[in-house]
Amino acid sequence: MNAFMAILRRDMRLALRQGADSVMVVAFFIVTTTLFPFGVGPEANILARIASGVIWVSALLAAMLSLERVFQTDYEDGTLELLTLSPVPLELVVLGKVATHWLTTGLPLIVAAPLMAVMLNMSTDGFGVLIVAMLIGTPTLSLIGAIGAALILGARRGGVLVSLLVLPLYIPVLIFGAGAVEAALLGMPVQAHLQIMGAILLLSLALAPFAAAHAVRQAVE
């Protein structure tokens, strides 16, 4: 736990020094969400109908913006190789970097999501479920994204490649996240959607650190 906290503190300090990354993610999320009313028109009923899907798609795309830098900076300056050779399990290092990515990307998106929901005329009945679903779903995006970020280490045009790798794996989170909000707006039970999202999170938490650590070892070697 001490090693995990040390990695988390280090990465958070580095992330805060480059605060533009988090601002860029939130700005992209806001701009992308704002574009939909221009595309489909200002009709309030239409915007309310598509609000949950728009917010989730925008959040998913925004989360991918910073995936390439999860390991890339440490890979380029040699820090990742030292971490690989250190007695600290590499899986713990991966978890620390995933936690940093979520704190600097997922958490700001959760804060901004209700504001976008208001703009899209979403009923307040869906606000609580939207926040809960994003609290469950965004860590999954970071965990899955870490696998893609590790796989593209050393590759050219890694940003495009990581998007192609992780987008198909993000689809279940998108489906059940948007479905949970839609069910809440229709007055239907949301427990099944949230439970499936929780199961996906637990599965990702169990497998992603090992898969990403293996990919990092291959890249360093």
For 38-51, the pLDDT digits (tens) are 888 778 888 888 88
Residue 60 pLDDT > 80: yes
C-alpha distances (whole Å) from 117 to each of 30, 34, 167 are: 11, 11, 23
Residue by residue, DSSP assigns the chain as -HHHHHHHHHHHHHHHHTTHHHHHHHHHHHHHHHHHHHHH-S-HHHHHHHHHHHHHHHHHHHHHTTGGGTTHHHHHHTHHHHHHHSSS-HHHHHHHHHHHHIIIIIHHHHHHHHHHHHHTT--GGGHHHHHHHHHHHHHHHHHHHHHHHHHTTT-TTHHHHHHHHHHHHHHHHHHHHHHHHHHHHTT---HHHHHHHHHHHHHHHHHHHHHHHHHHHHHH-
For 167-213, the pLDDT digits (tens) are 899 999 999 999 999 999 888 999 999 999 999 999 999 999 999 99
Q: Is the pTM of this model over 0.85?
A: yes
Q: How would residue 76 be classed by pLDDT, with cut points 50, 70 and 90? A: confident
For 103-147, the pLDDT digits (tens) are 988 899 999 999 999 988 888 888 999 999 999 999 999 999 999
pLDDT of 13: 83
Q: How would residue 19 be classed by pLDDT, with cut points 50, 70 and 90? A: low
